[in-house]
Amino acid sequence: MGGEMLPPDEAGPDDVVLSWAGSDVVAVRLPQLADSLDHILAAMERRQGRPLADLDRKAKQEVVRILEARGAFSVRHGVETVASALGVSRFTVYNYLNRDKA
């Protein structure tokens, strides 16, 4: 997901500090959700072996289902980001989302 490890003394209020045997060992800075979406999209492209925009409609619908399950559309501009990666309009992404609910 693109987290970053830091020395525990450099941890900020939003970082997660991990301890071992009572001592702080490492801090983990998690990426912003929007950055995580970019990582998820890149991983899906690698898994498919080609750009997501080159997939057929059925495969794109499956990508949207997976991304919805991972919370991609709760991120600000998530629909726009996914639409751009898939090479479709926002309207098409909403249609894919609504199709699953019908």
Cα dist from 64 to 16, 25, 51, whole Å = 30, 38, 14
> 10 burial class (0-12, 13-18, 19+ CB within 10 angstroms)?
exposed
- Quote the pLDDT of residue 70: 82
- Quote the pLDDT of residue 2: 63
- Of 32 and 71, the structure prediction assigns the larger pLDDT to 71
Per-residue pLDDT tens digits for 30-61 = 766 556 788 889 999 999 999 999 999 999 99
State pTM to two decimals.
0.66
